[in-house]
Structure 1
């Protein structure tokens, strides 16, 4: 998993509440078990019409936000079904951080497992960042995970909380497999001792 330390990027505003996982990645794209390739279908029904043409008004279709790496959203982001394809699609598009007043629990947990930093902030702070994001190409934010701080283009800083263990995993690029491999030596030693103690197993 890619490490997350400091992210400096364009922030895209998505001022919608209750954005569910079917809106993030519609069910017809859930056939794959690969994490790559879903970015082109992120928010598919909002980004494209029935003929596959871009809907010009949607934020990620606007030139200033095509390369957004941060998403500012409304409350209860990622609600609905527990599909892990939702964070896969977000990450594959290039978004590494989602900021919202609140998140659905399963989506929130899945973000950390896939190298995405979800940040929950009070509504008034999210509204301020949404206003910053409305500046288009000038809507750059810096997210410093080590210092747990978001800095706007004009130097305003907003602190955020993150679980220490999840912070460690993101900064070290450790998913569940990576965490297990950190204990590889101990696991091997246990298996060797167990084989010697119970050779009949």
Structure 2
């Protein structure tokens, strides 16, 4: 994950309250065993009609908003089931951040642990951003938004709004770390704890390896 503190670009307005993860990535796109191709399913039923034709009135199908790096979402964005695919798919689709007044709790954790920035601003500020986006669209000039992760500010032409992050999430994002990378920063302490634990409880050391060795031992071979 790359290091960054600024996310900026066109912001696509998606003022749909309670947009859940089943809508963000429908179940038929979850059949694979890896993350490949999840972008094809992002907001599929909003982007396409029943015959699979693009809906021209949907914001992300409009030329000005194709591959917009920022979404302006409605309240409780990402509620519903806990599928992490919603985050992976949005990232594959080119989304780097979502600004909304609230998010589904599990979606929020999944996003922050995978480097998808979520900025929670007040409902009043969201309505200002939506109004700005509507005026910009009427003028055929999509709204531009700048998210400063270090200063915890969302900037646009009509104003700025603060947002909050835990220091852990803020540092993870600024340092380009996912959850595994953040954990590995404490590797010396983890190794030291493991050594102390195994010294005190030697029978618990490498239990899985010992069990595997017994299973793989040829029939009739003596064991230690």
Same fold (TM over 0.5): yes
CA distance in 2, matches of 1:189, 1:110: 29
2-structure distance, mates of 1:35, 1:155: 38
**Partner of 1:150 in structure 2?**
154
Over 3 Å counting, the alpha-carbon distance change for 1:34 and 1:3 in structure 2 is farther
- Which range moves more in the overlay, 132-141 or 43-52? 132-141
Range 55-64 or range 115-124, more displaced: 115-124
Q: What is the deviation of 1:183?
A: 1.9
CA distance in structure 2 between the aligned counterparts of 1:198 and 1:104, rounded to whole angstroms: 42
SS of the residue 2:13 aligns to = strand
CA distance in 2, matches of 1:195, 1:75: 49
CA distance in 2, matches of 1:122, 1:179: 29
* Partner secondary structure for residue 49 of structure 1: coil
| 2:219 alignment partner in structure 1 | none
Q: Within 5 Å, give how 1:57-136 maps onto structure 2.
A: 57-134=57-134, 135-136=136-137
Secondary structure in structure 2 of the residue aligned to 1:111:
helix
Task: Report what 2:214 is aligned to.
Answer: none
Which one is further off, 50-59 or 104-113?
50-59
Task: State the 1:32 CA deviation.
Answer: 2.5
Q: Name the structure 2 match of 1:163.
A: 166
How far apart in 1 are the matches of 2:3 and 2:199?
A: 39
Cα contact 2:17–2:76 (8 A) shared by 1: yes
Of structures 1 and 2, the larger Rg is shown by 2
Aligned residues: 200
In 2, Cα distance between the equivalents of 1:48 and 1:179? Answer: 38
Q: Cα 1:198–1:159, aligned 2, differ >3 Å: closer, same or farther?
A: closer
Say which is worse superposed, 75-84 or 30-39, in terms of deviation: 30-39
Structure 2 contact 132–158 (Cα < 8 Å) conserved? no
CA distance in 2, matches of 1:116, 1:123: 21
CA distance in 1, matches of 2:103, 2:178: 20
Determine if contact 2:114/2:179 at 8 Å carries over to the other structure: no
The answer for unaligned runs of 5 or more in structure 1 is: none
Query: 1-side partners of 2:122 and 2:193: how far apart?
Result: 47
Q: Sort the Cα spacing of 1:192 and 1:162 in 2 relative to 1 into closer, same or farther, 3 A.
A: closer
Question: What's 2:27 paired with?
Answer: 27
| 8 Å CA contact 1:3, 1:115 repeated in 2 | no
What residue number does 1:172 align with? 175
Moved more, 7-16 or 127-136: 127-136
1:106, 1:130 → 2: CA distance?
25
Provide the rounded CA distance (Å) in 2 between the counterparts of 1:163 and 1:199.
38
